[in-house]
Amino acid sequence: MKALKYLVIGLAVIAIPVFGIAQAPDYAQFKTNDEENNIEIFKLASPSVVHITNSRLVRSFYSLNPQEVPQGTGTGFVWNADGYIVTNFHVVQQANRVTVTLQDGSSYDAEPVGSDPDKDLAVLRIDAPGVELIPVNLGDSALLEVGRKVIAIGNPFGLDTTMTVGVVSALGREIDSVSRRTIQDVIQTDAAINPGNSGGPLLNSLGQLVGVNTAIYSPSGASSGIGIAIPVNTVKRIVPELITYGRVQTPILGISRIPQPDYYRELWGIEGVIVLDVVAGTDPERLGMRGIRRAQRGQIQLGDVIVEINGQPIANEDDYATVIEQHQPGDIVKVRTLRDNCLLEYDIELQAPISR
Protein backbone atom coordinates (compact mmCIF):
# COMPACT_ATOMS: atom_id res chain seq x y z
CA MET A 1 0.00 0.00 0.00
CA LYS A 2 1.00 3.56 -0.49
CA ALA A 3 2.13 5.24 2.69
CA LEU A 4 0.40 8.49 3.53
CA LYS A 5 1.83 11.56 5.14
CA TYR A 6 -0.47 14.14 6.59
CA LEU A 7 0.14 17.85 6.21
CA VAL A 8 -1.85 20.10 8.48
CA ILE A 9 -2.56 23.50 6.94
CA GLY A 10 -4.69 25.58 9.25
CA LEU A 11 -7.63 23.32 10.11
CA ALA A 12 -7.39 21.27 6.93
CA VAL A 13 -5.70 17.89 6.81
CA ILE A 14 -4.26 16.91 3.42
CA ALA A 15 -3.12 13.39 2.64
CA ILE A 16 0.01 13.26 0.44
CA PRO A 17 1.02 9.88 -1.07
CA VAL A 18 4.69 8.97 -0.60
CA PHE A 19 6.15 6.52 -3.13
CA GLY A 20 8.99 4.20 -2.39
CA ILE A 21 11.02 5.46 -5.39
CA ALA A 22 11.62 9.18 -5.78
CA GLN A 23 10.62 10.55 -9.17
CA ALA A 24 12.85 13.16 -10.83
CA PRO A 25 10.98 16.40 -11.47
CA ASP A 26 10.50 17.60 -15.03
CA TYR A 27 12.67 20.73 -14.92
CA ALA A 28 11.58 21.74 -18.42
CA GLN A 29 8.19 22.82 -17.09
CA PHE A 30 9.88 25.13 -14.56
CA LYS A 31 11.87 27.16 -17.16
CA THR A 32 11.09 30.84 -17.08
CA ASN A 33 10.57 32.84 -20.23
CA ASP A 34 13.94 34.53 -19.68
CA GLU A 35 15.70 31.17 -19.36
CA GLU A 36 14.06 29.92 -22.52
CA ASN A 37 15.23 33.06 -24.30
CA ASN A 38 18.81 32.54 -23.08
CA ILE A 39 18.80 28.94 -24.28
CA GLU A 40 17.40 29.86 -27.69
CA ILE A 41 19.97 32.63 -28.18
CA PHE A 42 22.82 30.28 -27.30
CA LYS A 43 21.55 27.64 -29.74
CA LEU A 44 21.09 30.27 -32.44
CA ALA A 45 24.36 32.20 -32.07
CA SER A 46 26.99 29.77 -30.76
CA PRO A 47 27.53 28.07 -34.18
CA SER A 48 28.73 31.48 -35.44
CA VAL A 49 31.34 31.89 -32.69
CA VAL A 50 34.93 30.74 -33.29
CA HIS A 51 38.02 30.24 -31.15
CA ILE A 52 41.12 32.13 -32.29
CA THR A 53 44.69 31.25 -31.34
CA ASN A 54 47.77 33.09 -32.53
CA SER A 55 51.49 32.45 -32.39
CA ARG A 56 54.74 34.25 -33.18
CA LEU A 57 58.07 33.11 -34.53
CA VAL A 58 60.85 33.82 -32.04
CA ARG A 59 64.51 32.93 -32.16
CA SER A 60 65.59 30.22 -29.73
CA PHE A 61 68.09 31.42 -27.15
CA TYR A 62 70.06 28.18 -27.46
CA SER A 63 69.96 27.24 -31.16
CA LEU A 64 69.13 30.67 -32.67
CA ASN A 65 66.56 28.84 -34.84
CA PRO A 66 63.07 30.35 -35.16
CA GLN A 67 60.40 28.64 -33.08
CA GLU A 68 56.63 29.05 -33.12
CA VAL A 69 55.45 30.18 -29.69
CA PRO A 70 51.78 30.53 -28.67
CA GLN A 71 50.99 34.18 -28.04
CA GLY A 72 47.37 34.19 -26.92
CA THR A 73 43.79 33.24 -27.59
CA GLY A 74 40.60 35.10 -28.25
CA THR A 75 37.21 34.91 -29.87
CA GLY A 76 35.74 35.82 -33.24
CA PHE A 77 32.58 35.27 -35.21
CA VAL A 78 31.59 34.37 -38.75
CA TRP A 79 30.75 37.47 -40.78
CA ASN A 80 29.51 35.73 -43.92
CA ALA A 81 29.51 32.37 -45.68
CA ASP A 82 32.59 33.31 -47.74
CA GLY A 83 34.80 32.53 -44.76
CA TYR A 84 35.35 36.02 -43.36
CA ILE A 85 35.89 36.13 -39.61
CA VAL A 86 35.72 39.28 -37.46
CA THR A 87 37.70 39.73 -34.25
CA ASN A 88 39.63 42.39 -32.33
CA PHE A 89 42.85 43.75 -33.77
CA HIS A 90 44.66 43.20 -30.48
CA VAL A 91 43.77 39.48 -30.59
CA VAL A 92 45.86 38.96 -33.76
CA GLN A 93 48.33 41.83 -33.39
CA GLN A 94 51.95 40.84 -34.25
CA ALA A 95 50.90 37.24 -34.92
CA ASN A 96 52.82 35.20 -37.50
CA ARG A 97 50.17 32.51 -37.57
CA VAL A 98 46.49 32.61 -36.66
CA THR A 99 44.30 29.52 -36.30
CA VAL A 100 40.50 29.59 -36.29
CA THR A 101 38.61 26.70 -34.68
CA LEU A 102 34.94 26.24 -35.52
CA GLN A 103 32.22 24.81 -33.29
CA ASP A 104 32.61 21.35 -34.83
CA GLY A 105 36.25 21.30 -33.66
CA SER A 106 37.80 21.72 -37.12
CA SER A 107 40.71 24.17 -37.31
CA TYR A 108 41.96 26.28 -40.21
CA ASP A 109 44.90 28.60 -40.80
CA ALA A 110 43.52 32.11 -41.18
CA GLU A 111 44.66 34.66 -43.74
CA PRO A 112 44.75 38.32 -42.59
CA VAL A 113 42.43 40.42 -44.75
CA GLY A 114 42.44 43.86 -43.15
CA SER A 115 42.61 45.67 -39.84
CA ASP A 116 41.74 48.96 -38.20
CA PRO A 117 43.82 49.48 -35.03
CA ASP A 118 41.97 52.75 -34.35
CA LYS A 119 38.73 50.81 -33.79
CA ASP A 120 40.42 47.58 -32.60
CA LEU A 121 38.87 45.51 -35.40
CA ALA A 122 40.39 42.92 -37.74
CA VAL A 123 39.08 40.64 -40.48
CA LEU A 124 40.47 37.18 -41.23
CA ARG A 125 39.53 34.64 -43.86
CA ILE A 126 39.51 30.87 -43.71
CA ASP A 127 39.16 28.36 -46.53
CA ALA A 128 36.73 25.79 -45.14
CA PRO A 129 35.45 23.80 -48.13
CA GLY A 130 32.42 21.67 -47.49
CA VAL A 131 31.72 23.33 -44.14
CA GLU A 132 28.55 25.31 -43.66
CA LEU A 133 29.57 28.61 -42.11
CA ILE A 134 26.75 30.27 -40.19
CA PRO A 135 27.05 34.07 -40.13
CA VAL A 136 25.99 35.99 -37.05
CA ASN A 137 22.75 37.96 -37.31
CA LEU A 138 23.39 41.72 -37.32
CA GLY A 139 21.38 44.08 -35.12
CA ASP A 140 21.22 47.85 -34.63
CA SER A 141 23.17 49.30 -31.71
CA ALA A 142 21.29 52.60 -32.06
CA LEU A 143 18.23 50.85 -30.59
CA LEU A 144 19.99 49.84 -27.37
CA GLU A 145 18.88 51.30 -24.04
CA VAL A 146 20.38 51.08 -20.59
CA GLY A 147 18.82 48.07 -18.88
CA ARG A 148 18.35 45.97 -22.02
CA LYS A 149 19.50 42.37 -21.68
CA VAL A 150 22.68 41.39 -23.51
CA ILE A 151 24.51 38.09 -23.84
CA ALA A 152 28.22 37.51 -24.43
CA ILE A 153 29.55 34.30 -25.96
CA GLY A 154 33.28 33.64 -26.09
CA ASN A 155 36.26 31.67 -24.90
CA PRO A 156 37.35 33.15 -21.55
CA PHE A 157 40.66 31.74 -20.35
CA GLY A 158 40.51 29.30 -23.28
CA LEU A 159 37.23 27.72 -22.15
CA ASP A 160 35.30 27.19 -25.37
CA THR A 161 31.86 28.64 -26.04
CA THR A 162 31.01 30.18 -22.69
CA MET A 163 27.87 32.27 -22.30
CA THR A 164 27.35 35.08 -19.78
CA VAL A 165 24.27 37.24 -19.33
CA GLY A 166 23.90 40.84 -18.22
CA VAL A 167 22.43 44.19 -19.16
CA VAL A 168 23.53 47.32 -20.93
CA SER A 169 25.01 49.31 -18.05
CA ALA A 170 25.78 52.51 -19.96
CA LEU A 171 26.01 53.91 -23.47
CA GLY A 172 28.23 56.53 -25.07
CA ARG A 173 31.41 55.53 -23.22
CA GLU A 174 34.90 56.16 -24.63
CA ILE A 175 38.02 53.99 -24.49
CA ASP A 176 41.51 54.21 -25.98
CA SER A 177 42.38 51.78 -28.75
CA VAL A 178 45.76 50.09 -29.17
CA SER A 179 46.73 52.99 -31.47
CA ARG A 180 45.78 55.45 -28.69
CA ARG A 181 42.87 56.76 -30.72
CA THR A 182 39.62 57.24 -28.85
CA ILE A 183 36.85 54.79 -29.69
CA GLN A 184 33.61 56.65 -29.08
CA ASP A 185 30.08 55.54 -28.24
CA VAL A 186 31.13 52.13 -26.91
CA ILE A 187 28.75 49.95 -24.91
CA GLN A 188 29.28 49.20 -21.22
CA THR A 189 27.85 45.94 -19.89
CA ASP A 190 27.93 43.91 -16.68
CA ALA A 191 27.83 40.61 -18.60
CA ALA A 192 30.98 38.85 -17.39
CA ILE A 193 33.82 39.40 -19.88
CA ASN A 194 37.24 37.94 -19.18
CA PRO A 195 40.54 37.54 -21.07
CA GLY A 196 39.71 35.36 -24.08
CA ASN A 197 36.31 36.98 -24.66
CA SER A 198 37.94 39.67 -26.80
CA GLY A 199 36.55 39.72 -30.33
CA GLY A 200 33.43 37.77 -29.42
CA PRO A 201 29.83 38.83 -30.00
CA LEU A 202 27.61 40.78 -27.66
CA LEU A 203 24.01 39.85 -28.51
CA ASN A 204 20.58 41.25 -27.77
CA SER A 205 17.52 39.25 -26.73
CA LEU A 206 16.77 38.49 -30.39
CA GLY A 207 20.17 36.85 -30.83
CA GLN A 208 21.40 39.74 -32.99
CA LEU A 209 24.92 41.16 -32.83
CA VAL A 210 24.93 44.55 -31.10
CA GLY A 211 28.61 44.79 -30.18
CA VAL A 212 32.07 43.23 -30.27
CA ASN A 213 33.49 42.58 -26.80
CA THR A 214 36.85 44.29 -26.61
CA ALA A 215 37.92 45.33 -23.11
CA ILE A 216 37.32 45.15 -19.38
CA TYR A 217 38.00 47.55 -16.56
CA SER A 218 39.55 45.48 -13.80
CA PRO A 219 42.39 45.88 -11.29
CA SER A 220 42.87 42.10 -11.27
CA GLY A 221 42.59 41.39 -15.01
CA ALA A 222 39.40 39.36 -14.49
CA SER A 223 35.79 40.43 -14.80
CA SER A 224 34.74 43.14 -12.36
CA GLY A 225 31.34 43.86 -13.87
CA ILE A 226 32.51 46.49 -16.34
CA GLY A 227 32.90 45.17 -19.86
CA ILE A 228 33.23 47.23 -23.02
CA ALA A 229 31.97 46.42 -26.53
CA ILE A 230 32.37 48.22 -29.86
CA PRO A 231 28.87 48.99 -31.21
CA VAL A 232 27.75 46.95 -34.21
CA ASN A 233 26.90 50.06 -36.21
CA THR A 234 30.60 50.95 -36.15
CA VAL A 235 31.46 47.38 -37.13
CA LYS A 236 28.99 47.40 -40.04
CA ARG A 237 30.65 50.54 -41.40
CA ILE A 238 34.25 49.35 -41.08
CA VAL A 239 34.24 45.62 -41.88
CA PRO A 240 33.08 45.94 -45.54
CA GLU A 241 35.94 48.41 -46.16
CA LEU A 242 38.45 46.05 -44.56
CA ILE A 243 37.22 43.21 -46.77
CA THR A 244 37.36 45.31 -49.95
CA TYR A 245 40.42 47.47 -49.36
CA GLY A 246 42.28 45.96 -46.41
CA ARG A 247 41.97 49.20 -44.46
CA VAL A 248 39.46 51.93 -43.70
CA GLN A 249 39.01 54.40 -46.55
CA THR A 250 39.20 57.58 -44.47
CA PRO A 251 39.35 60.62 -46.78
CA ILE A 252 42.22 63.09 -46.59
CA LEU A 253 42.12 66.85 -46.20
CA GLY A 254 45.33 67.50 -48.12
CA ILE A 255 47.70 68.42 -45.31
CA SER A 256 50.47 66.74 -43.35
CA ARG A 257 50.53 67.08 -39.59
CA ILE A 258 53.43 67.72 -37.28
CA PRO A 259 55.08 64.78 -35.47
CA GLN A 260 54.89 64.73 -31.66
CA PRO A 261 52.00 67.21 -31.72
CA ASP A 262 51.33 67.17 -27.97
CA TYR A 263 54.89 68.30 -27.25
CA TYR A 264 54.66 71.25 -29.64
CA ARG A 265 51.16 72.24 -28.56
CA GLU A 266 52.39 72.46 -24.99
CA LEU A 267 55.61 74.20 -26.06
CA TRP A 268 53.76 76.86 -28.03
CA GLY A 269 50.71 77.02 -25.75
CA ILE A 270 48.13 76.37 -28.46
CA GLU A 271 45.20 74.04 -29.12
CA GLY A 272 44.33 72.57 -32.50
CA VAL A 273 46.00 70.61 -35.28
CA ILE A 274 49.26 72.15 -36.45
CA VAL A 275 49.62 72.09 -40.23
CA LEU A 276 53.13 70.93 -41.08
CA ASP A 277 52.72 71.21 -44.86
CA VAL A 278 50.08 71.16 -47.60
CA VAL A 279 49.85 68.52 -50.33
CA ALA A 280 50.48 69.73 -53.86
CA GLY A 281 47.40 69.90 -56.07
CA THR A 282 44.87 69.91 -53.22
CA ASP A 283 42.45 72.60 -52.05
CA PRO A 284 44.61 73.63 -49.05
CA GLU A 285 47.46 74.51 -51.42
CA ARG A 286 45.16 76.22 -53.93
CA LEU A 287 43.41 78.27 -51.24
CA GLY A 288 46.61 79.42 -49.59
CA MET A 289 46.74 77.38 -46.40
CA ARG A 290 50.26 77.45 -44.94
CA GLY A 291 52.40 74.98 -43.09
CA ILE A 292 55.36 75.60 -40.79
CA ARG A 293 58.17 77.75 -42.22
CA ARG A 294 61.55 78.96 -41.13
CA ALA A 295 62.08 82.69 -40.80
CA GLN A 296 65.17 84.42 -42.14
CA ARG A 297 67.04 83.90 -38.88
CA GLY A 298 66.17 80.21 -38.81
CA GLN A 299 63.34 80.55 -36.31
CA ILE A 300 60.27 78.34 -36.77
CA GLN A 301 57.22 80.27 -37.91
CA LEU A 302 53.80 78.68 -37.44
CA GLY A 303 51.37 78.62 -40.33
CA ASP A 304 47.75 77.53 -40.01
CA VAL A 305 46.46 75.72 -36.93
CA ILE A 306 43.11 73.96 -37.52
CA VAL A 307 40.71 74.83 -34.71
CA GLU A 308 37.30 73.88 -36.18
CA ILE A 309 35.79 71.67 -38.90
CA ASN A 310 32.11 72.02 -39.82
CA GLY A 311 31.45 73.81 -36.56
CA GLN A 312 33.06 71.10 -34.40
CA PRO A 313 35.96 72.29 -32.22
CA ILE A 314 39.31 70.64 -32.98
CA ALA A 315 41.68 70.54 -30.01
CA ASN A 316 43.97 67.70 -31.10
CA GLU A 317 44.60 64.96 -33.65
CA ASP A 318 41.97 62.71 -32.10
CA ASP A 319 39.26 65.35 -32.63
CA TYR A 320 40.51 65.89 -36.19
CA ALA A 321 40.44 62.19 -37.12
CA THR A 322 37.03 61.66 -35.52
CA VAL A 323 35.47 64.42 -37.65
CA ILE A 324 37.22 63.46 -40.91
CA GLU A 325 36.28 59.77 -40.69
CA GLN A 326 32.60 60.73 -40.60
CA HIS A 327 32.86 61.93 -44.21
CA GLN A 328 33.42 60.47 -47.66
CA PRO A 329 35.78 61.54 -50.46
CA GLY A 330 34.15 64.40 -52.38
CA ASP A 331 32.49 65.93 -49.31
CA ILE A 332 33.20 69.63 -48.80
CA VAL A 333 34.05 70.65 -45.24
CA LYS A 334 34.37 74.13 -43.77
CA VAL A 335 37.72 74.43 -42.02
CA ARG A 336 38.61 77.28 -39.68
CA THR A 337 42.23 77.93 -38.79
CA LEU A 338 44.19 80.32 -36.65
CA ARG A 339 47.20 82.05 -38.19
CA ASP A 340 49.00 85.03 -36.64
CA ASN A 341 46.06 85.50 -34.25
CA CYS A 342 43.66 85.79 -37.19
CA LEU A 343 40.80 83.38 -37.93
CA LEU A 344 40.74 82.09 -41.51
CA GLU A 345 38.11 79.95 -43.22
CA TYR A 346 38.45 77.46 -46.08
CA ASP A 347 35.96 75.31 -47.99
CA ILE A 348 37.92 72.13 -48.76
CA GLU A 349 36.92 69.09 -50.79
CA LEU A 350 38.05 65.85 -49.17
CA GLN A 351 40.12 63.52 -51.34
CA ALA A 352 40.25 59.73 -51.56
CA PRO A 353 43.16 58.19 -49.63
CA ILE A 354 46.29 57.43 -51.59
CA SER A 355 46.50 53.74 -52.57
CA ARG A 356 49.33 51.79 -51.02
Residues belonging to the active site: 90, 120, 198
- Characterise 137 by phi-psi region: left (phi > 0), alpha (psi -120 to 50), beta (else): beta
Instruction: Please say whether the beta carbons of 176 and 182 come within 8 A.
Output: yes
Instruction: Please say whether the beta carbons of 281 and 275 come within 8 A.
Output: no
Q: In terms of C-beta density within 10 A (0-12 exposed, 13-18 middle, 19 or more buried), how is residue 171 classed?
A: middle
Query: CA 291, CA 255: separation in Å to the nearest integer?
Result: 8
